[in-house]
Amino acid sequence: MELKHWCAMEKVLAFEKIDMNSSKLVIQARDFCSRWKGRFFSSDAVSALRKTDILSHMVDRQKLPYEIYRSSFELLHEIGKVDIAAAVGLTMHQYALGTIATAEIFDEESRQKRDYFLKMIQDEKLLCAVSSFDMTIQSDGRIKAGLNAVMVDGRWVVTGRKRYQSMASIADILFFTAAISDHSFGLFYVVLKDNPNIAFDTTPPVAFLQETDTRAINFDQVSIAPYQLVSVADITATTQFHAYSLSWFQSLISAAYLGAARAALEVCIRKIATVGSGDSVLKHESAVGRMELQLRSALSLRYAVESVLVEASHTSPAVAMREFSVAAEVLKYTGTQVASSIVSQIRHLGGLSMMVDESSFGRISEYVLYGAMHPRSNSDLESSSGRSALSR
């Protein structure tokens, strides 16, 4: 058999393996959703979540990046159909661990620390939050960060503030970056529970932020053991790590919003089918068909991300990073735009009755707008793409 046929067969077998793993996780996600709808982040629900593989499948060292990605996307899409806020919150856990588990770490000591961290997540089924990458490069080349770490008596002491932190008081552990000098960053983690030097601000009076438990988090000389510094990198390497983690985030976040759009569309279809007569149902065929095609088109873009991750090992790291970034941006932009568009079309189609009769649609209608705001925001992606096009 020719080499290209062997390669094709290997790819088919790989994707069949992914489908089996994904199906198991999707079933677990459905069971979890049906049981805990409306209180995903209660203490009982989080305890139940630990009994599934939803929190730990990304840290399985036997899995390749594209296996982790597909499983994460499908379970987030499933949860998004039931509770968009919970899906967005859990996206933070999925993308953070997907990034850490698959990022290239070159020195042996950092790899060992990373593997220890991942094993702890896997063994204890910990819920992991990840802080925003809070950094600016000043005109003199120095970095200014929200969190800063210094070594005192053999331990790291971290001080500063993060303005927005999802799952702030729910998560067991926080993975974060902090400046350790004017030109380098450290990748740290810390236990959030019962830490007297970590304080959370009150939740902003915005329903979406309240449901995702997004608030500011303050570090007041938080003492961290040396082994909780996973890696140290200069500004270039840290920026590359940030770009890689951003691609993971952008390639997964659409799963949550498109899941919510699917739920909204199903509400719309049920309403048309049960309330309308034969003629009125026919009148809405094109509108429903258009939204169905838009949804399927957006969802199909995830296969481009999978293909990039499949091929990443066969190309240079720089090329792989660039292709991953491009595919993730397209999926994030298109997915969140389509989700918002579908909800807007349904609102126009059903009028006020959709908001009044279906409480789930009213909530989705309010929350789906946040998809365009996640960094990088859709307006930022448009500006960047426009700049690139005009420079050519």
| pLDDT bucket at 15, cuts 50 / 70 / 90 | very low
Distance between CA 386 and CA 297 in Å, rounded? 23
pLDDT at residue 264 in the model: 93
141 vs 197, more confident = 197
Residue 82 DSSP label: H
pLDDT at residue 75 in the model: 94
Residue 163: pLDDT over 70 = yes
pLDDT at residue 192 in the model: 87
Taking the alpha carbons at both ends of the chain, their separation in whole angstroms is: 44
E strand or H helix at 188: strand 184-191
Q: Outline which parts of the chain fall under CATH 2.40.110.10.
A: 129-234
CATH of 236-391, one of 1.10.1740.10, 1.10.10.60, 3.20.20.150, 1.20.140.10: 1.20.140.10
Q: Is the dihedral of CA 117, 114, 185, 69 positive or negative?
A: negative
Q: Outline which parts of the chain fall under CATH 1.20.140.10.
A: 236-391
State the average pLDDT for the chain. Answer: 85
Residue 81 gets the label, from left (phi > 0), alpha (psi -120 to 50) or beta, of alpha
pLDDT at residue 225 in the model: 92
pLDDT at residue 162 in the model: 86
The amino acid occupying position 36 is W
Report the DSSP pairing between strands 184-191 and 229-234: antiparallel
Q: Write out the DSSP string of 112-163.
A: HHHHHHHHHHHHHT--EEE----EEE-TTS-EEESEEEEEETTEEEEEEEEE
Residue 155: pLDDT over 50 = yes
pLDDT at residue 317 in the model: 82
Distances (CA, A) of 262 to 75, 122, 297: 14, 31, 13
As a whole number, mean pLDDT of residues 330-355 equals 87
| Strand partners of residue 174 | 129, 190
Distances (CA, A) of 175 to 114, 138, 197, 311, 339: 11, 25, 16, 28, 29
- Average the pLDDT over each of 88-92, 237-241, 307-311 and give the range with the smallest value: 237-241
As a whole number, mean pLDDT of residues 211-227 equals 91
pLDDT at residue 279 in the model: 62
E strand or H helix at 43: helix 43-49
pLDDT at residue 86 in the model: 92
Query: Per the confidence metrics, is the pTM higher than 0.85?
Result: yes
- Average the pLDDT over each of 69-73, 138-142, 291-295, 339-343 and give the range with the smallest value: 138-142
Rounded percentage of the chain residues whose pLDDT exceeds 70: 88
135 vs 191, more confident = 191
As a whole number, mean pLDDT of residues 307-320 equals 87
| pLDDT bucket at 18, cuts 50 / 70 / 90 | very low
pLDDT at residue 141 in the model: 67
List pLDDT tens digits, range 349-388.
876 566 555 668 888 999 999 999 988 899 999 999 999 8
Closest C-alpha among 135, 386, 123 to residue 246: 135
pLDDT at residue 290 in the model: 94
What's the token pair of residue 313? 């090992």
Domain 129-234 coded CATH 2.40.110.10: yes
Residue 222: pLDDT over 60 = yes
pLDDT at residue 6 in the model: 37
Asked if 32 contacts 48 with a C-beta cutoff of 8 angstroms, the reply is yes
Distance between CA 190 and CA 179 in Å, rounded? 15
List pLDDT tens digits, range 32-63.
988 888 788 888 988 899 999 999 999 887 88
pLDDT at residue 358 in the model: 61
As a whole number, mean pLDDT of residues 82-103 equals 92
As a whole number, mean pLDDT of residues 58-71 equals 90
Distance between CA 348 and CA 223 in Å, rounded? 54
Distance between CA 130 and CA 176 in Å, rounded? 6
Residue 20: pLDDT over 70 = no
As a whole number, mean pLDDT of residues 341-348 equals 92
- Average the pLDDT over each of 13-27, 89-103, 123-137 and give the range with the smallest value: 13-27
Residue 3: pLDDT over 70 = no
Asked if 79 contacts 256 with a C-beta cutoff of 8 angstroms, the reply is yes
What's the token pair of residue 163? 């303005």
pLDDT at residue 2 in the model: 42
pLDDT at residue 8 in the model: 41
Distance between CA 246 and CA 375 in Å, rounded? 8
289's CB contacts (< 8 A; 6+ apart) are none
Burial of 46 (0-12, 13-18, 19+ CB in 10 A): middle
| pLDDT bucket at 19, cuts 50 / 70 / 90 | low
